[in-house]
Every structure is written in C-alpha cells, then in structure tokens.
C-alpha cells in the first residue's frame, strides 16, 4: 500500500477496526519516513483508543498526540493544544485516527481548513460489512456522507477491513469483496487496501485486491 501524502486521515464507524488499521499503518509509515506522528482525535468513545498502543508507538519512535484524558476513565471530550502541530509542523508525516461517526468527526472540522489548504492528504474510510450500521452499500454511503458533512473534508479512498473479530475466516473476507466493490463503485473512490489478520495471509494474499495483512490485533477482552 502506498501512503505518499503527508497527512492520512482514517475514518470509520465505531467497530470498523479503524484504530487497529491505524496502528498498523503507522508502523508501515515509520519504515518509509523518519518523523511520524499519530493523532487520536476521538472525542466520543472513552474506551479502545489509539493510546492503548502507546507503548508500541514509543518503542517504534512514533509520536502520539491524544487527549490526556484518553483511557483515564475521565469521560471528558477534550483535545490537547498539541493537535495544532498536525498542520503547523509540516516536517512530520501524520496519521489521524478520527472519531467513529459524524459526532466524532466534528472535532476534525477545526483542522479542516488548514488540511485542505495544504492539500497533501488522503482521507480514507475504513469499512466493515459485518457491522450492523454499515451492512450494505446504502447504509455505508449514509455514514460516509454524515462524516464528510461533519468534518468538511471529502473522502479520497477506501480500506475494506470487513471482519468478525477473532473468529474471522478467509471466507468472511472473500464474502465482503462484492460489498467493498459496491461502495467503491457508488462513491467513485478507489479501494486502496483489503485488510485481514496476518494468519490469513497465505490464504488471501493472492485472492483479494490490494491485500494488507495486519500484524497487530486489537486486544480481546
């Protein structure tokens, strides 16, 4: 997968696996670029945050910007002042983990004018056919429209991360291709990756478009 824009915005409905994809993409970016920053802009969900992976980022030399209240059990929708460095400091490659729906994406609106002005970004929608509110093309388009409206930036690509958690089989991924193509066709957006857990790599790497094996998995409770 090629990530050649300075800013990569990852959006996706809650439970799409967006944060897991973000962690994996950040490590890929770090292999190509010296300075990599991950910014967690989720102001809605107090659980399952990019911050869960702060140790991984630290070890890899990736900078993490997130609310000081993330994972603190303090339910406060706050963002750190450091978030302005996303657009002020253009020496970094930045991957932004955007909140899961229109309310979550609202926080991005603050940065949208600067991101659009710089015009060196990719905004990706992470889709999962197995989530109840994005089970078909029409529902997915609705969610995408709401996110675009809330943050003021248009999508430029799609990541098909359709999965059923730990139990995901190769067939589950293969059965999602028609859906992902449908979203791609309806939006005119390119599918830039089809993701799956690494253990399915040998089964899937030649059968899906733009395969991307995820080496890290969300921790399971």
Binding footprint of other proteins on the chain (CB under 8 A): 14-15, 46-48, 73, 75, 128, 130-133, 135, 163-165, 167, 221
Nearer to other proteins, 4 or 167 (CB): 167
Q: How far is the CB of 39 from other proteins (least distance, A)?
A: 23
CB of 169 to other proteins, least distance (A): 11
Instruction: Indicate the residue among 47 and 81 with the shorter CB distance to other proteins.
Output: 47
N-to-C CA span, the chain: 30
Nearer to other proteins, 148 or 218 (CB): 218
* Least spacing, CB of residue 46 vs other proteins, in Å: 6
At 56, is the secondary structure helix, strand, or coil?
Answer: helix
Identify the CA nearest to 208 among candidates 178, 182, 188: 178
Residue 80: name the closest of 72, 68, 63, 70 by CA.
68
CA distance 211 to 190: 14
- Of 6 and 13, the one with the shorter C-beta distance to other proteins is 13
Cα–Cα distance for residue pair 37/80, rounded to 1 Å: 14
Smaller CB distance to other proteins: residue 6 or 131? 131
Kindly state the smallest distance separating residue 170's Cβ from other proteins, in Å.
15
Alpha carbon distance 92, 78 (integer Å): 23
- Distances in Å between the Cα of 211 and the Cα atoms of 137, 150, 194 are 21, 30, 5
Minimum gap (Å) between residue 65 Cβ and other proteins: 23
Cα distance between residue 191 and residue 135, in whole Å: 17
Q: Which H helix or E strand runs over 146?
A: helix 137-151
């Amino acid at each position: 997968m090629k990530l050649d824009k300075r800013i990569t915005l990852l959006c996706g409905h809650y439970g799409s696996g967006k944060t897991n994809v973000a962690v994996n993409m950040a490590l890929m970016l770090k292999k190509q670029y010296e300075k990599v920053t991950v910014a967690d802009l989720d102001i809605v969900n107090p659980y399952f945050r990019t911050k869960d992976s702060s140790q991984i980022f630290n070890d890899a030399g990736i900078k993490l910007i997130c609310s000081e209240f993330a994972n603190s059990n303090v339910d406060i929708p706050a963002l750190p002042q450091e978030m302005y460095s996303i657009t002020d400091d253009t020496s970094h490659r930045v991957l932004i983990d955007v909140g899961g729906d229109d309310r979550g994406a609202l926080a991005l609106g603050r940065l949208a004018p600067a991101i659009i002005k710089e015009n060196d970004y990719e905004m990706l929608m992470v889709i999962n056919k197995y989530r109840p509110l994005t089970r078909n093309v029409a529902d997915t388009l609705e969610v995408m429209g709401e996110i675009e409206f809330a943050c003021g930036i248009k999508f430029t690509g799609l990541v098909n991360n359709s999965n059923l958690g730990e139990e995901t089989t190769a067939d589950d991924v293969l059965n999602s291709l028609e859906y992902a193509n449908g979203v791609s066709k309806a939006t005119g957006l390119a599918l830039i990756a089809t993701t799956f857990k690494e253990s399915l790599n040998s089964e899937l790497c030649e059968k899906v478009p733009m395969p991307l094996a995820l080496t890290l998995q969300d921790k399971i409770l």
